A and B are shown apart, each in its own frame.
Chain A
Amino acid sequence: MSAKDLNKVINTLLRDKHAQYIASFEKNKESFEFYATEHFRMSGVYWGVTAMQLLGNLDLMDNDAILAWVLSCQREDGGFGGSERHDSHLLYTLSAIQILALYGALDRINADRTLSYISSLQQADGSFAGDTWGEIDTRFSYCALLCCSLLGNLHAVNVPKAVSYIVSCQNIDGGFGCTAGNESHAGQVFCCVAALHLAGALDRLDRDLTCWWLCERQTKSGGLNGRPEKLQDVCYSWWCLSALSILDCLHWIDRDALSSFILQCQDEERGGIADRPEDMVDVFHTFFGIAGLSLMGLCDLEPIDPTYALPVSTVHSIRGT
């Protein structure tokens, strides 16, 4: 885009461009990014295929190859690594389970092995370590509960203890931090609210206060930030919006302004969505932009479930509803 076009308004979702961008991403194996992102490729693939499903273009992906690759990343301990050459971690175990759920292929793994990996990471205080090296974070509480839920056995872990740990991480501003006493962050708020939802414990948080803090994340640009006095970024369209949606407060923000901001972050030439207008796109922000629009019921996208971060149709088929 040339300088004179900088203020040009993009007011439609460039669906085909995004589908092409996502489909071609995995094919460019000669880029630095391909190597630099290898350790979290499982999440990259989850963002890509879920965005494609929301766009109605999953058929453009090499789904058989993806499925085989996901299965090849399962380790001896039952968890999944970020890719073939990487160790098990809860973050990538969740991404793998989400992909398998999307493909209706959860029966391709031994669920008990994965469940025992997850439960082995729960600590005495109810928190979860990301892997055997013991990093504790409320993100991992969400990963653990969602995996268990998708695998049909939430109570493979100690749910009441998991809930009490999450509640101990709520701050006086209504948000949640990575561990008790740490500053609220919208990504963490999403994880904690969604985890409490899965555990049937939403009454344990101060809904009004949490939602007020979340709606204050919207900046003059229309975009959302992750913490007070920080810059807006498309990924928070998902982190804040999903939590507001779970707590039934989507109407506390200006959805028109947010959708304009997301659309403004599209790359008209290459496809894909960036963190902010005029920045480089990536699959992460492309997914979170599309997911945000889907959650707001815009652009004729397949609806996404705010707690499972999967298409509503996938969640229905798993729950048999």
Chain B
Amino acid sequence: MHGRPRVPLGTPEDPEKVKASKQRLALFSRLCNEVLARRAARRYDPEPMILAAKLLEQNPEVYTVWNYRREALQDTLQGEHGSDAADAAVKTELQLTETALQKNPKSYATWHHRKWLVQLGVVSLERELKLVTKLLAVDSRNFLAWAYRRFVVERACVPLEDEEQYSMECINANFSNYSAWHARTVLLPRIHAAQPTTSLADLLAADSAPNQAAAPGLVPLWALGQELDVVQQATFTDPEDQSAWVYHRWLLSQLMAHHTAQSSKGQAALKESEDMLNQEIMRCEALLESETDRSKCKWPILTLARLLELRGSQQTGTGVQEGGPDQQLIRNLYGELMDIDPMRKGYYADALEGKANVVTRPV
């Protein structure tokens, strides 16, 4: 039971509520008995179907009853499309799953039933995309809704660029939408693997930096630059929200992978990614200067420490220079993290000793 407030023992019961709850129990237990008995007898006539729908409206997670509905419907739905019976059945199932999702938007069993309908090819994918967009507008972090969205997008062959734009809209509406940041980590490598880019902005950006042919699986540097700008907006708005920072860590590992991939091509090829790394160091420093309360600066401090580690390993190829100025700075930053974020002291201690490699490994 999640988020239901506890009632102290001895609290006088509201007789109206007791009555309502008894009625609810009586109805639900009768529905269970009737429906499961007919299921056991393999009866698939309309009456138990109506009762089954009623039961699922009250408790959408009773998976056996969804199984029962599918058994009852599969012949009709897998048969000739467009028959009146099939159309009516699809309409009923769509309505029922929508009602069930309103009751419990995280009902695995209900989402699966909906997927089953889609897989039969009897549902308009356009309508499904609209529905899931509506649900995500209500709860933008519902991971089952996001999973369903990916499923529909794949089947409907929605261009990846459209989904990329959708995730950006979600982020612009709320920088704290980790689900939308996550979506970008999946979309961007796929979009750039499927070069050439199609949007004018991307073509112009690619044209201005023609030497940055992307290594496979990597987001090109010009696109990483754009992402780093978006992260900067988010982290300057709320430096304590971890969503954009976790995304930033991924961008850094991409940057690192570019550097490794280009290391054989000489100094000039490396300059671009090194400049971007230095820009990120300056951004963290600027953020830290603008915030007077260091106790709120865990994320820029951690990111700065990691950036300095990265710069060290780029410069020497092995790691931060022993006894150099950055080494002391990094030590101080981790020391400060142990003070302001003591819960994760164990991690910071391991990171300081080089026993926790969270960024410096290329993706």
Asked whether A172 lies within 8 Å of B363 as measured between CB atoms, the reply is yes
Q: Which residues of A contact B150 (CB under 8 A)?
A: 181-182
Asked whether A212 lies within 8 Å of B356 as measured between CB atoms, the reply is yes
Residue among A30, A185, A218, A280 with most chain B CB within 10 A:
A280
Kindly state whether residue A65 has any CB partner on chain B within 8 Å.
no
Q: Which 4 A-B pairs have the closest CB atoms?
A: A251-B346, A254-B343, A252-B347, A280-B4
Pick from B175-183, B270-278, B281-289, B312-320 the stretch touching chain A.
B175-183
Q: Which residues of A contact B186 (CB under 8 A)?
A: 171, 181
Asked whether A81 lies within 8 Å of B64 as measured between CB atoms, the reply is yes
Asked whether B2 lies within 8 Å of A275 as measured between CB atoms, the reply is yes
From the candidates A81, A134, A279, name the one contacting B1 in the complex (CB within 8 A): A279
Kindly state whether residue B79 has any CB partner on chain A within 8 Å.
no
Kindly state whether residue A178 has any CB partner on chain B within 8 Å.
yes
Q: Identify the A interface with B (CB < 8 A).
A: 1-2, 30-32, 35-36, 38-40, 81-82, 85-87, 89, 131, 133-135, 137, 171-173, 177-179, 181-185, 206, 208-209, 211-213, 215-216, 218, 222, 227-230, 233, 249, 251-254, 257, 267, 269-270, 274-276, 278-282, 284-285
Bound Cα distance from A253 to B1, whole angstroms: 26
Q: Which residues of B contact A233 (CB under 8 A)?
A: 2
Kindly state whether residue B236 has any CB partner on chain A within 8 Å.
no
Asked whether B1 lies within 8 Å of A183 as measured between CB atoms, the reply is no
From the candidates A137, A208, A252, A274, name the one contacting B357 in the complex (CB within 8 A): A208
Nearest B residue to A254 via CB reads B343
CB distance from B354 to the nearest CB of A (A): 11
Kindly state whether residue B54 has any CB partner on chain A within 8 Å.
no
Nearest A residue to B359 via CB reads A209
Asked whether B358 lies within 8 Å of A208 as measured between CB atoms, the reply is yes
Asked whether A212 lies within 8 Å of B28 as measured between CB atoms, the reply is no
Asked whether A85 lies within 8 Å of B347 as measured between CB atoms, the reply is no
Q: Is the interface of A mostly helix, strand, loop or mixed?
A: loop
Nearest B residue to A83 via CB reads B64
Nearest A residue to B348 via CB reads A252
Residue among B40, B141, B182 with most chain A CB within 10 A:
B182
Residue among B8, B64, B357 with most chain A CB within 10 A:
B64
CB distance from A103 to the nearest CB of B (A): 26
Pick from B192-200, B220-228, B238-246, B260-268 the stretch touching chain A.
B238-246
Q: Which residues of B contact A249 (CB under 8 A)?
A: 346-347
Kindly state whether residue B78 has any CB partner on chain A within 8 Å.
no
CB distance from B171 to the nearest CB of A (A): 13
Asked whether A87 lies within 8 Å of B25 as measured between CB atoms, the reply is no
Q: Identify the B interface with A (CB < 8 A).
A: 1-9, 21, 24-25, 28-29, 32, 36, 40, 59, 61-64, 66-67, 70, 108, 112, 115-116, 141, 143, 146-147, 150, 176, 178-179, 182, 185-186, 241-243, 246, 249-250, 253, 342-347, 350, 356-358, 361, 363
CB distance from B162 to the nearest CB of A (A): 16
Bound Cα distance from A178 to B62, whole angstroms: 20
Q: Which residues of A contact B21 (CB under 8 A)?
A: 32
A-B contact pairs, 30 of them (CB 8 A): A31-B25, A32-B21, A32-B28, A35-B25, A35-B29, A39-B61, A82-B63, A89-B63, A131-B67, A133-B67, A134-B116, A171-B186, A173-B249, A177-B143, A178-B147, A181-B186, A183-B146, A183-B178, A208-B361, A209-B358, A213-B246, A215-B343, A228-B178, A228-B242, A249-B347, A253-B343, A274-B1, A278-B5, A280-B6, A280-B7
Q: Which residues of B contact A218 (CB under 8 A)?
A: 343-344
Q: Which residues of B contact A209 (CB under 8 A)?
A: 358, 361
CB distance from B24 to the nearest CB of A (A): 6
Asked whether B243 lies within 8 Å of A278 as measured between CB atoms, the reply is no
Asked whether B361 lies within 8 Å of A173 as measured between CB atoms, the reply is no
Q: A87-B67, A208-B357, A274-B6 are in contact. Are A182 and B343 (CB under 8 A)?
A: no
Q: Which residues of A contact B67 (CB under 8 A)?
A: 87, 131, 133
Asked whether A182 lies within 8 Å of B146 as measured between CB atoms, the reply is yes
Residue among A182, A222, A230 with most chain B CB within 10 A:
A182
Q: Which residues of B contact A254 (CB under 8 A)?
A: 342-345
From the candidates A227, A252, A280, name the one contacting B344 in the complex (CB within 8 A): A252
Bound Cα distance from A254 to B33, whole angstroms: 48
Q: A35-B32, A133-B70, A173-B182 are in contact. List 8 more A-B contacts (CB 8 A).
A: A30-B25, A39-B61, A135-B115, A173-B249, A178-B143, A182-B150, A208-B356, A257-B343
